[in-house]
Amino acid sequence: MGADRRRRGASALVLLCAMAILTAPGLAAGIAHAAPGAPAAPGAPAAPAAPAPEPGAKSLEQVRKEIEDLYRQAGAATDAYNLAEAEVKAQSEKIVAIANLVVAGQERITALKSRAGAAARAQYRSGGLPAGAKLALSEDPGQFLDGAGRLRQGEKAASDLLTELDRTQNDLKRYAQDASAHWATLEANRVKQEDAKNQIEQKIKTAEELENKLEAEEKARLIQLEQEAQYKAQTAWLSTGAMKDVNGAATEAGKRAVQYATAQMGKPYVWGAEGPKAFDCSGLTSQAWLAAGRTIPRTSQEQLRLLPKVALKDMRPGDLIIYFDDASHVAMYVGDGAMVHAPRPGRNVTMAGAGSMPIKAVVRPDA
């Protein structure tokens, strides 16, 4: 049964790679590519041959790896940008909450001062002595006791008022300190966000410049090389027996998450985007699980840090696969050795082999 599953997974990936190659930009004019290692179909036009590189020039494979590395670096910076953006939002919400507390505290102090002023005015009108004091000075025993009680009540009320006023003023001081701390964190996160944005834009610009230097035939060949590299990694992964015992069934929430993620296929990757027209990798996974009724962290690194980890053999559709040592990429497992993800700028949300990139961990949003 495990062998059948591996064969099905491998066959599905061959078909998947072929479909991706045949539908890739620049190949719509009838250019046909055979599966890696297979001869071209009879009568089919030959795949465009890569032009011979000039002496000292980089090969197309070297260019592919360089572009891939740049986009990986951009992906890591995107994660840093998304995290800083989430922290900016959180700090802004805390500052707004503190501002509301300050307003309430100021209103409380105004009310307490008004009560204190009313008591002072009443005392002034009575000749400087509280009514209870006059009764306490009476020679009538009943009036004396009543006056003494009123004095104690008045003293307690005055003491409580002063205590409440002092406590409220201390609260306002603490709120001011908290607001200052949150402002400092907010500004630090804004700086991190801006730095990450600059890194992303620079890496993407460099990668696009490399890609734009290629001729149309080279761009077509570049896409084929990407697919071949993914196919090679996937088949190597399957050959280890990684999928031998993977047969977990999706939960109802997992099914909804998978349905959402796969419905986004064909939409472009845009860094920082979380739908509905475009996504980055963690934007896709977080929104898919939000559609399934669960809120999960926004970034791939936070998804790795905060979501429960599961063994690869226990993986089931809906689980998230974290890739690379720096956890800079994330995809959703959909079953049969495949995953859906938003790959990188210039590519669309697509399905690929779960082992087509180095797997760091598997996490479960609905553990």
Predicted pLDDT at 20: 40
Q: Cα separation of 285 and 298, whole Å? A: 8
Predicted pLDDT at 127: 54
- Both tokens of 188, joined, read 């630090």
Predicted pLDDT at 37: 34
- Mean pLDDT, consecutive 10-residue stretches, the chain (367 aa), reads 44 41 33 31 43 59 83 81 81 81 77 67 56 52 53 61 74 78 79 81 84 84 88 93 90 97 96 93 97 95 95 96 94 96 93 94 95
Distance, C-alpha 127 to centroid of its chain: 69
Predicted pLDDT at 122: 59
Calculate Rg over the CA atoms of the chain: 34
Written in H, E and C, the secondary structure of 54-100 is CCCCCCHHHHHHHHHHHHHHHHHHHHHHHHHHHHHHHHHHHHHHHHH
Positions annotated as catalytic residues are 281, 329, 341
pTM comes to 0.60
Predicted pLDDT at 348: 95
Predicted pLDDT at 139: 56
Backbone angles phi, psi at 151, to 5 degrees: -60, -45
Contacts 24+ apart (CB under 8 A), 37-43: none
Burial of 141: CB neighbours in 10 Å, binned 0-12, 13-18, 19+: exposed
